[in-house]
Structure 1
Amino acid sequence: MNKPKKFSEISSREKALLVANWLDEKQGEKIVVMDVEKMSSVTNMTIVVSARGTKHAKALADHLLDQAAKDSVEFLSMEGHQAGEWVLVDLNDVLVHIFLDELRDFYNLEGMWAEAPRVPLTL
């Protein structure tokens, strides 16, 4: 008897766009999706999103976890949820960075991944 697959079989790009839509549903701001597959040994796609405050950042992260569970999207770990200033959500081949604006500017992940192609959003 075949056991059902635990996680959805979708491409990293499709997963990143799905996650970007989940973030948009909860009013995540300035969502940027970067294809880092050729530059990173850790992940294929990186998403950076701004939150209006720590409560909003935590709500965005919680929404991602809820949606991932509903849609059988693999979730590995989360860091920074307690403080809510920079929350990292690891969805295996997609990493999500939820930032307060001032920290987003300070760490400048988009600058660090300047060579990474941006994935156009269809929100």
Structure 2
Amino acid sequence: MESPEKARLVAGWLDDKQAERICAMNVAGMTSVTDVVIVVSARGVKHAQALASHVLEMASEENVEFLSMEGHKTGEWVLLDLNDVIVHVFLDELREFYNIEGMWTEAPRIELDA
């Protein structure tokens, strides 16, 4: 599966659980770490944890490679590493503070299903 297609799949999983302000950026060629960065907002800690857990469960069901997860215990900023797709789940105030989208302003946005 190509990275943009995988990003759309993961974004759909996040949307199923009411993730807010989903943004997917194609960073292929800009970093050696990943090809796509997805940033989403959660309504609270439990919502962030639920979003991350759902992605992990769906990745397992769909045989999507999953490397690691950080921050699940605190739930304020959860990072999911799906190899060529990295997902950041933020509480809104931390999303604004860390401004991941601002770090990748030159990265093309991936159009996601409405």
- TM-score under structure 2 normalisation? 0.99
User: 1:27 offset after TM fit, Å?
Assistant: 0.1
The one-letter code matched in structure 2 to 1:15 is: K
The one-letter code matched in structure 2 to 1:116 is: A
Q: Give SS of 2:22's match.
A: strand
Q: Measure the CA separation in 2 of the matches of 1:53 and 1:40.
A: 30
Q: Give SS of 2:73's match.
A: coil
Q: Which residue of 2 aligns with 1:75?
A: 66
Q: Which residue of 1 aligns with 2:38?
A: 47
The one-letter code matched in structure 2 to 1:48 is: V
User: 1:52 offset after TM fit, Å?
Assistant: 0.2
- The answer to whether structure 1 residue 102 and structure 2 residue 96 are counterparts is no
User: 1:38 offset after TM fit, Å?
Assistant: 1.6
User: 1:35 offset after TM fit, Å?
Assistant: 0.0
Q: Measure the CA separation in 2 of the matches of 1:108 and 1:78.
A: 20
Q: Which residue of 1 aligns with 2:104?
A: 113
Q: Measure the CA separation in 2 of the matches of 1:55 and 1:106.
A: 20
Q: Which residue of 1 aligns with 2:54?
A: 63
Deviation digits for residues 10-67 of structure 1 (CA, Å, limit 9, x no counterpart): 0111100000000000000000000000211100000000000000000000000000
Kindly report which structure 2 residues correspond to 1:1-16, keeping only aligned pairs within 5 A, or say none.
10-16=1-7
Q: Which residue of 2 aligns with 1:6?
A: none
Q: Which residue of 1 aligns with 2:28?
A: 37
**Unpaired runs of 5+ in structure 1?**
1-9
Q: How many residues get paired?
A: 114
| Superposed structure 1 runs of 4+ greater than 6 Å apart | none
The one-letter code matched in structure 2 to 1:117 is: P
The one-letter code matched in structure 1 to 2:80 is: V
Q: Which residue of 2 aligns with 1:86?
A: 77
- TM-score under structure 1 normalisation? 0.92
Q: Measure the CA separation in 2 of the matches of 1:88 and 1:76.
A: 11
